Amino acid sequence: MNKQDAFESDDLIDDSGPDLRRYWRAILSRKWMVLGITAAITAVAVLVVSNMPSRYEATATLMFELDQANLVSVEEIYDAGNQRREYILTQTELLQSRGVAERVIRQMDLLEHAEFVPNPLFEGSALWSWLPFVGGDMDGDGGASTGESAEHRRMERAITLFLERLTIEPKLNTHLVDITFSALSPELAADVANTVGEAYIASQSEARVQFTNRASSWLNERLETLRDKLERSESALLAFQEQEGLVDISGVPSLAEQEVNEATTQLQELRRELRQVASIQEQVQALEGNELALANLPEVLNNPMIQEIKRNEALASRAVADLSRRYGAKHPDMVAANNELAMVRDQLRSEVRNLVDALDSRYQTALARVRAQELEVQRAKESFQKVSRKTVRYGELQQQAEINRQLFNTFLTRVNETREASGFNMAPARLADLAVPPVEPSAPNKRLIVAAALAVALMLAVGIAVMLDYLRVGVRSPEDVELYLRQQLMGLMPDVEKVTGQRLELRAFFDPDQYTFAESVRTLRTGIVLSRFGLSDRNSERNSDRKETKGPKGQVLAITSSVPGEGKTTVCENLAFALGQVEKVLLVDADLRKPVVGIDFGVDRARPGLTDMIEGTAAIDECIHRDERGGIDIIPAGRLCDDPQKLLVSPRFDEMIKVLARSYDRVIIDTPPVHAVSDALIIARSASSVLFVVKHDDVNKQLVANGLHRLQQSGSQVAGVVLNQVDITDKSVYVKEYYGCNYCNYGREQSRHSHRKPSKGRVRYVESSRERV
């Protein structure tokens, strides 16, 4: 699987939500711990619940008398809130008040009752006074508590405890309220519930009587004050009438107003006439000195005298015109005619001047009349204002007297009503249903508590199991390999039973009793052979002539791990055995610091190996040792050296690997762990691919990821991951995830009967891991 495939798989997992199967496996793996924690907590809960005392609840029903038949309306004074929606809620709070609680406690002498007696371990003890949240000085007098203060503290604690056990609950859409009290004694619960209702009724009745008495006293005081105010207001009204000489002011404001309106109307008419005369006056003044032009004014021209003179002027003008055609200018008739015309025109000018003087006199007269009328209007207004002020003042005094009279009458009525109703007091509420001692306890619900404890214990135990599962940071599943490490899972190696502290037997692959282990190695072999890393060289081998091939013939596979103890050498050896049955395989021990391969195969430590081959002190054929039983060749580490990295980084090491690859189908190199030393990074550069061994649920996933990252940074090609020492027993919760239901036993009996020694020859293997072709 390449990185892109890993990322796509990661996206798919993220979109699918949480893996519930993983949680279930984590719970199953610790089922006995879960059951143990659950059973322990449940047992403690049962023990605690069995010792809890039973409590009883008794309920009394109180009904408020909202629709009372009021004998007189004085009820409105002190019972104005009866019809309000908030009335019942208000009375409900009063039922839970400390005053009612104290009244009940004193009435029933509950201070001496066993349920209200304080715990002697705390009351008056030195430990109680030293508690930081209580303080040593409870009374504020330096510790010298008096008997009165101690009694007060007892009462306060009793009230607090009383209210904690009292429940008041109104019934929806009714005038009923349930009074419930909880106690260890059923008789006490019923008695307290009934007494609470009686105490509330008594307190409210007393409050009403007190309020009525206070209201009556206050009304009497206010009545005397209002009587004085009424007398003073009526005296002030009479005095004002006498001072202003008013007998009856009805109609006076109307006459004054009418006079003002008439004067105003006349003023408007005179002003309109003045505007007309002023317009003519302006025209006359504009044509002053030009009598002929003035004569053509409409006001002048319409005058009969002017019209007569105009006609005479026209006749004289025609006569002068007629005579001028017959006579000369000095002819007597002509002179007489001109004189007559001049005389007519003089008469016209004189008459026009008289009319102009008349128009001016008319203007002055209109102006004087307007001014006089304005004075009249002003006088009428002043007179109207005086009348209005007197009317307003009279109305104020009259209204004040009327208000005082009405208020006095109202209070007088209230006083009489209160006096008459003082002997009748109706209770504000009544007990509609008395509480009776309960038969069955109401609390605690022991079954429910035990069931809840069981559920909580189970959830806690499951949470602990899941949390412990998450605290395990090792690689535990193929999903961890593919999604977290982003590598391909090449194979799974089961955990084989062996003596503690010892390694797996070398030839376990050929042991018929280790069928599951051998089958897992064959599966790993199939994955390597069929992977793209194993097929690349084979395809090139098929498509080209062997004689002309100059490159490496075989696949070089380096096997490493993160830290020591993960079983990489065991994987190397058994994988070499499996591949040796189908290919020509060489196993090279490149762990020059702690070589194991040569020791496992019984090679004499004096025989030359890899270090001798790199240094050139021994030939390649001298370093290769044949294992006839396994059908493979091995090169041990050889002589120990002081600086293994110096040999590994030399060009001769890389050249030796290439030479060996031309002679073998598969070269398997056992390398040191990545995080122990850097040898594996150097060796991996000479290999075609790297197989990374990870011990199941042992090494931190982050450490493994860092090792893979170091290999990839060095340019090495990681073929995949082998998950080693996996628990595949029936007890393991991961067996089905890794191998399916009955994979471990599939074909096991047949394999036992058909088992034979591995072939020494070279066999081409491309199909099943249990069949040779």
573-624 pLDDT tens trace: 999 999 999 999 999 999 988 998 988 898 888 889 999 888 888 888 889 9
Question: Is 11 a residue whose pLDDT tops 90?
Answer: no
The single-letter DSSP state of residue 591 is -
Question: Is 729 a residue whose pLDDT tops 70?
Answer: no
Are 33 and 77 within one domain? no
Q: Is residue 366 part of a domain?
A: no
Are 48 and 80 within one domain? no
Are 706 and 623 within one domain? yes
Are 157 and 11 within one domain? no
Q: Is residue 222 part of a domain?
A: no
Please tell me the distance from the alpha carbon of residue 679 to that of residue 707, in angstroms, as a whole number: 13
The proportion of the chain whose per-residue pLDDT surpasses 90, expressed as a percent, equals: 20
Closest C-alpha among 423, 409, 19 to residue 209 = 423
Are 45 and 67 within one domain? no
Q: Is residue 540 part of a domain?
A: yes
Are 73 and 175 within one domain? yes
Global confidence as pTM: 0.49
Paired strand residues for 589: 670
Kindly give the residue spans of alpha helices, DSSP state H, lying in 472-514.
478-479
Please tell me the distance from the alpha carbon of residue 26 to that of residue 729, in angstroms, as a whole number: 16
Are 662 and 560 within one domain? yes
Which residue type is seen at 626?
R
- Least confident range from 416-420, 512-516, 661-665: namely 416-420
Q: Is residue 252 part of a domain?
A: no
Q: Is residue 618 part of a domain?
A: yes
Q: Is residue 280 part of a domain?
A: no
pLDDT-derived band of residue 304, with 50, 70 and 90 as boundaries? Answer: confident
Are 698 and 621 within one domain? yes
Specify the CATH number for the domain of residue 94: 3.30.1890
Please tell me the distance from the alpha carbon of residue 358 to that of residue 337, in angstroms, as a whole number: 32
Higher pLDDT, 143 or 487: 487
Are 40 and 75 within one domain? no
Are 11 and 155 within one domain? no
Please tell me the distance from the alpha carbon of residue 729 to that of residue 719, in angstroms, as a whole number: 28
H or E segment and range at residue 317? helix 304-326
Q: Is residue 363 part of a domain?
A: no
Write down the pLDDT at residue 17.
52
Higher pLDDT, 288 or 91: 91
Q: Is residue 183 part of a domain?
A: yes
Closest C-alpha among 452, 492, 512, 429 to residue 726 = 492
Contacts 24+ apart (CB under 8 A), 237-244: 237/394, 237/397, 237/398, 237/400, 237/401, 240/393, 240/394, 240/397, 241/394, 244/390, 244/394
Instruction: Give Cα 418 distance to the centre of its chain.
Output: 59
Q: What is the DSSP string of 350-401?
A: HHHHHHHHHHHHHHHHHHHHHHHHHHHHHHHHHHHHHHHHHHHHHHHHHHHH
Domain span at residue 39? 3-52+444-471
Are 604 and 680 within one domain? yes
Write down the pLDDT at residue 455.
94
349-395 pLDDT tens trace: 777 777 777 777 877 888 888 888 888 888 877 777 777 777 777 77
Q: How many domains does the chain have?
A: 3
Specify the CATH number for the domain of residue 581: 3.40.50.300
Mean pLDDT of 61-79: 58
227-265 pLDDT tens trace: 787 777 777 777 776 676 655 555 556 666 777 788 788
How is the beta sheet containing 56-64 ordered, strand by strand? 166-170, 176-183, 56-64, 429-433
pLDDT-derived band of residue 420, with 50, 70 and 90 as boundaries? Answer: low
Higher pLDDT, 173 or 718: 718
Are 580 and 601 within one domain? yes
Mean pLDDT of 418-447: 78
CB-count burial class (<10 Å; 0-12, 13-18, 19+) for 595: buried
- Backbone phi, psi, residue 49, to 5°: -65, -35
Number of alpha carbons in the 13 Å side-chain half-sphere of residue 409 = 6
What does the radius of gyration of the chain's CA atoms come to, in whole angstroms?
64
